[in-house]
Structure 1
Amino acid sequence: MQYAADEVRRDLKYLTLLAREFPNIASASSEIINLQAILKLPKGTEHFMSDLHGEAEAFTHIMNNASGVIKEKVDRVLGPAVPEAQRAEFATLIYYPARKLDELKARQTDLDGWYRQTLYRLIDVCRVVSSKHTRSFVRKRLPRDYAYILDELLHAHFEDHDKEFYYDQILASIIDIGRADDFIEALCALIKNLAVFKLHLLGDIFDRGPRPDLILEQLMAHHSVDIQWGNHDVVWMGAAAGSPLCIATVLRTTLAYNNLEALEDGYGINLRPLALFAESEYKDCDVHHFYPHVDESRGPYHRGELARVARMHKAITLLMLKLECRVIDRNPDFELEGRDFLRRIDYGAGTVLVEGKRYPLLDDDFPTVDPADPARMTPAEQEVMDALCRSFTESEKLQRHVRFLYAKGGIYHMENGNLLFHGAVPLTESGGFAVATFEKHGYAGRALMDYCDERARRAFFAPEGSEARRSGCDFLWYLWCGRLSPLYGRDKMTTFERLFVADPATHTEQSNPYYRFVNDTRMDRAILAEFGLDQTHCHIVNGHVPVRAIEGETPLKGAGRMIRIDGGFCRAYHEKTGIAGYTLVYNSRGLSLRAHQPFETMEKAIRENLDIVSSVDVFETTEKRMLVADTDEGRRLAGNVQDLKLLVAAYRMGLVKEKN
């Protein structure tokens, strides 16, 4: 392509900056060739997951098997000549090499022969998963100790008999010097690294399950990940930012599920001040409504320990309700009038006003509440809250994880024709975009999502002690439970009613009309158009609401334009859904849903070579295999190619001087 001098001069300032990275024609031309080669590669595999809810073992397994992608590669490489049981065993070795090797080695009569066969098979699988990437991309991911050897082996041509002898000698040397186990582990890690190009996580990493911190550690080690915040995530983000209400909310949820491991072992949060306070102030208090939900498979549980948790649960719940009154008072635009329940109680009669109707309280034993000023914290409560705030804001691990959530996350994300978000785009009863008014401005549709993202960031990045920071923290709590929160998607959160009111009619949380319009293709098109996406070929992907497969519900909505992939990882959902939810895989051939059976334990998966992919539904294929050039990243790279060609022209015209 020929460029006119005027055209080059127009971008001369930018080209001068670009020349710092590519200082001469040779380096710029080399990068053009490299980028054009990348554009011709098959599109990388994208892996979509949602609603992990702290189930670190199940998450680890899904990451290790890439929702069945790696087993598909194993089946392709080994073929039907190798029995299914052996292929499953080999796949398990890739998932958990450090824990599977000893068992497999103990069964071998010819260990060196087994090593050689296993290494060749792993190299073959690795060659298949690396075929979508440039040699440069693969080299950057090779383990340092074996980078040269692996580079040689992965790009070998085994039809050459001399080469075959050469590579066999390499493997024989690895085995002879006792490095075969390390080499197998390195190969397995590389296979898992290369199998998925990008991971999309659609929210709710936290709560219910025992170790969200372990999930985040894995995500931080992943080479390419984006996160769409869920409502359970933002309340933890608010807690890390120092919001007393978000801290109380996190603690209440954690105690309600007896999940102290996440706080104490995961993040080093000191619960002793709360425990001592609860033992002192709630020692003789009625707490039978506050006993935690327990997963018997993680037991056994001591009754006395559960009673201690129940007292802490009630103590933090009343603290939370007091703090809610304050946040509701200073944020009238949240439209939460009437949900300051401690002020709606008739303490003499033992009743509460809920949406204009009085109900008897299930529990009216409130030892720390002053009926004359219900929202006022006692000095002891204030002391406990101050200690908890210090513990959350001083947790190095929690702060590091929340910074990562902000860096890699947001309210929504668009990539390769897919609109990703956790919950909903709030709608009206008639199907229009609902208008939410905050800070004297109305927001709807995409503008609402953008506003939510901007205000959520104030909580962590505005100066400490500033009004902007407090405003951001309050808003993170609104995103957790507010009526028009795109992360929550319901009219109210009935925590108070479920704990204190017997009438089940008060426990109902009405879903936003968005969920009633999910099968209306006109609405799907309107949402896609709102975000500037093609209405015929693009998709909406979200989580948040479990798919009740046991009742025949499908994750595909709106003629396949909308896909709901609530992972269903949380064990509490399994009886309602019948499965452990869905993940989504988008490769160069099209889109496929992966349905998963409940995960029992990692130990059982390793021992019995169990996988948790139960079925694969390829529901949309492309007319031709997608290349990198067809993706958003490809369009960015194509733009880089044009910039580099312009730079080469500038060098040739002498407008930019080459450097050695």
Structure 2
Amino acid sequence: MKKDELRYLQRLAELYPTIGRASTEIINLQSILNLPKGTEHFMSDLHGEYEAFSHVLRNGSGAVRKKIDDVFGHTLSNHDKRDLATLIYYPREKIRLVKKTEEDMENWYKITLYRLIEVCKTTASKYTRSKVRKALPPDYAYVIEELITEKAEVLDKEAYYNSIVNTIIEIRRAENFIVALAELIQRLVVDHLHILGDIFDRGPGPHFIMDRLMEYHSLDIQWGNHDVVWMGAAVGQRACIATVVRNSIRYGNLDILEDGYGINMLPLATYAMETYKDDPCTVFGIKGVSDYHSLEQELGRKMHKAIAMIQFKLEGQLLRERREFHMEDRCLLHRIDPEKGSIVMPDGKEYALRDNLFPTIDWENPYELTAGELEVMERLEAAFRNCEKLQNHMRLLLDVGGLYKIYNGNLLFHGCIPLNEDGSMKEVEVYGETYSGRALYDILESYVRRAFFSVDAEEQKKGKDILWYIWAGPNSPLFGKDKMTTFERYFIEDKEIAKEKKGAYYQLLEKEEVVDRMLLEFGLDPAKSHIINGHVPVHQIEGESPVKCGGKVIVIDGGLCKAYQKVTGIAGYTLIYNSYGLFLAAHEPFTSAEEAVSKGNDIVSSQMAVHYSSKRRLVGDTDNGKALRERIQELTRLLEAYRKGIIKETK
């Protein structure tokens, strides 16, 4: 036996010190390999829509309702099934509602507990008892385990379970048990959650989503461009900070910064009111807000313009410093003619400006911040960097996240793989070296992590600046467009110049040879694997399908964000990958949790099979199964070492 192998087996022997312990673990792992594969749940482009996200998470994109159908079939009416599903999604709220109308609560408790126990048994059946035990709420773990475990030694099972349920009701713990069982079912119907990016911006509750994800039992996150710009803000990259603040103001979401993260907006508000006191700032309106009174709207517009001008200056500074980004054409302030009220764009065309009041621009040095702007940014930077809650949220993104993930034969990322028009991998320069495909993803992620962890000041700064590039760069795999036309949308009437052209990736998704090449680039088998991504909303209203290239590519951004629903026609797609195959769920717009409880509304509108397997997929067919087989081989080698006397048992 080689020295390195012996050393490893000696370490393994510390965990399994006897032949009996090692043998038991082999038997346990072998049994796990033959269980059905756990359910994976894919969500993308949440954009701060916490209530809709929370509901989809609670119902598992229909997984809870499917379990209810599996258990009760035609023995329950659709009305009763819907009520039971709503109870599982919102147990506390549903109980409060039932108590207002139900005359015999004791009977309702008994019926409900039995129904939940049956759903729980079926849901738990695909897991080992050990895994289920870990998921149980500590206060009721023993009793719930008794209720959902078949006990062969008990002759009169009905009497046994009746006595437990009756005792629960008699000691007035029925409501607590109902809540515990409902939350256990929610947890067990989804084994692993994938978030394919863009948690932040647009909607009002990204911080609530992050709080929920921090407590989730098993997940990974593929960063989106909106997440990355928040990561840049958290490490103090000022162009990213200005972008985050501008986006929050634009969508009427200052509460996220002020209440969610405790970032004081008073310095910006004070500066904006002083600097733009005589400026109506009409082109800087607030989107999607109807409850602002006139003074709030006026202040919002002034703050909006103030931070937008700061952003354009900071971006200009960055792009002139980082010539290697090849984005100098996005430096636009020096192209403005203040006398004519126009701008000459890089293509040589001149356009009139919708707003020609620029009190903070020194036309000799148009990208230089004024003293007031500099003070605002210094205070904002300190606030972002010192916000403990924000830093904890960013740490979660780093701990469970990345730019892409390969999981059970699927390639997950948020945006795209930069391609040339002929479908070949595009070479992209990153700090003097060129990369493409998987190597490009890897180097960009490496620099992101340097922004947070490097002790070398220059490497850390490169990482911070690359975060902004990933947000807006034309060759960024998370942006995937030729340019970000923020300036044009504010200042130029002509809508054509504000159009952002999508990269070649989006034009080539139906070409099988291109998709196969991308899968091979990431070490995957094109015959068995899929690309799953979000980022660009699927316009179902125009007949667009989220399933591309015969099912090899699945785009699951269908508009969970309310801002996109007018153009998508639906409220988002999610994906379920269970032991039977891949199933796409299309969602209707979500109204509120209150309506879901009172009317039994569910937002899953339809499901379609993307890939169905006639043979049920087992744990042994997954990445985890591969790891378990390797562990079994190692333990088998340990048994051999014990039996040959190479390693001694320690009892």
For residue 555 of structure 1, the aligned residue among 546, 564, 569 is 546
Q: Which amino acid aligns with 2:144?
A: L
1:66 aligns with 2:45: no
The equivalent residue for 2:32 is 38
The one-letter code of the counterpart of 1:183 is F
Which of 299, 310, 332 is matched with 1:341 structurally? 332
Shift of 1:463: 3.0
Instruction: Give the aligned residue type for 1:612.
Output: I
Give the 5 Å matches for 1:490-501: 490-501=481-492
Would the aligned equivalents of 1:424 and 1:486 in 2 still touch at CA under 8 Å?
A: yes
Matched residue, 1:418:
410
Deviation digits for residues 419-450 of structure 1 (CA, Å, limit 9, x no counterpart) = 00000001112221111011221101111111
CA distance in 2, matches of 1:134, 1:95: 24
Structure 2: runs of 5 or more not aligned: none
CA contact (8 A) 1:286 1:365 kept: no
> Which amino acid is the alignment partner of residue 456 of structure 1?
V
Rounded Cα–Cα distance in structure 1 between residues aligned with 2:496 and 2:87:
51
Q: Does 1:442 align with 2:446?
A: no
1:473 shift after superposition: 1.1
Within 5 A, what are the aligned runs for 1:260-275?
260-275=254-269
In the alignment, does 2:493 pair up with 1:507? no
Report matched runs for 1:307-322 at 5 Å. Answer: 307-322=298-313
1:52/1:206 contact within 8 Å kept: yes
**Contact 2:280–2:298, Cα closer than 8 Å, also in 1:** no
Q: 1:81 offset after TM fit, Å? A: 2.8
1:636 counterpart residue number: 627
For residues 29-72 of structure 1, what are the alpha-carbon distances to aligned partners after superposition, in whole Å with 9 as ceiling and x for unaligned? 11111111110100000000000000000000000000000011
Could you tell me the TM-score, scaled by structure 2's length?
A: 0.98
SS of corresponding position for 1:33? helix
Contact 1:49/1:567 (8 A) holds in 2: no
Q: What is the 5 A alignment of 1:246-645?
A: 246-295=240-289, 299-355=290-346, 356-463=348-455, 466-645=457-636
Question: Is the Cα–Cα contact under 8 Å of residues 463 and 469 in structure 1 kept in the other structure?
Answer: yes
- After the TM superposition, which of the residue ranges 411-420 and 148-157 deviates more from structure 2? 148-157
Once the two structures are superposed, what CA deviation does each residue of 1:630-656 show, in whole Å capped at 9, x if it has no partner? 001100011011111111111222222
**CA positional deviation for 1:251:** 0.6
1:76: how far off? 2.1
2:13 is aligned with 1:19: yes
Offset at 1:108? Answer: 2.3
Check 1:125–1:555 CA distance in 2 against 1; reply closer, same or farther (3 A cut). Answer: same
- Aligned-partner residue type, residue 256 of structure 1: R
- SS of corresponding position for 1:584: strand
**Is contact 1:338–1:344 with CA below 8 Å preserved after alignment?**
no
Deviations 1:469-515 (A, max 9, x none): 21111111110110100000101000001101112121010100100
Moved more, 18-27 or 309-318: 18-27
Partner of 1:211: 205
- Alignment pair present for 1:92 and 2:91: no
TM-score where L is the length of structure 1: 0.97
Query: Shift of residue 286 of structure 1?
Result: 3.4
Give, in whole Å, the separation in 1 of the partners of 2:583 and 2:311: 43
Residue 173 of structure 1 aligns with which residue?
A: 167
> Over the residues paired in the alignment, what is the CA RMSD in angstroms?
1.3
Distance 1:64 1:200 in 2: 15
Give the letter aligned to residue 138 of structure 1: V
Q: C-alpha separation between the residues in 1 aligned to 2:352 and 2:416?
A: 34
1:333 deviates by 1.4
Measure the CA separation in 1 of the matches of 2:23 and 2:377: 61
Q: SS of the residue aligned with 2:424?
A: coil
Which one-letter code corresponds to 2:383 in the other structure?
Answer: S
Amino acid paired to 1:634: G
How many Å separate the matches in 2 of 1:163 and 1:358?
84
Q: Which moved more, 1:454-463 or 1:477-486?
A: 454-463
* Aligned counterparts of 1:486 and 1:141: Cα–Cα separation in 2: 37
Q: What's the counterpart of residue 3 of structure 1?
A: none
* Aligned mates of 1:609, 1:161 — CA distance in 2: 39
- Distance in 2 (CA, whole Å) between partners of 1:428 and 1:619 is 28
The 2-side partners of 1:552 and 1:256 are apart by 30
Query: In the alignment, is the contact (CA less than 8 A) between 1:370 and 1:376 conserved in 2?
Result: yes
* Corresponding residue SS for 1:511: coil
The number of residue pairs the alignment matches comes to 650
Which letter does structure 1 place at the counterpart of 2:83? E
Contact 1:490 1:511 in 2 (8 A): yes
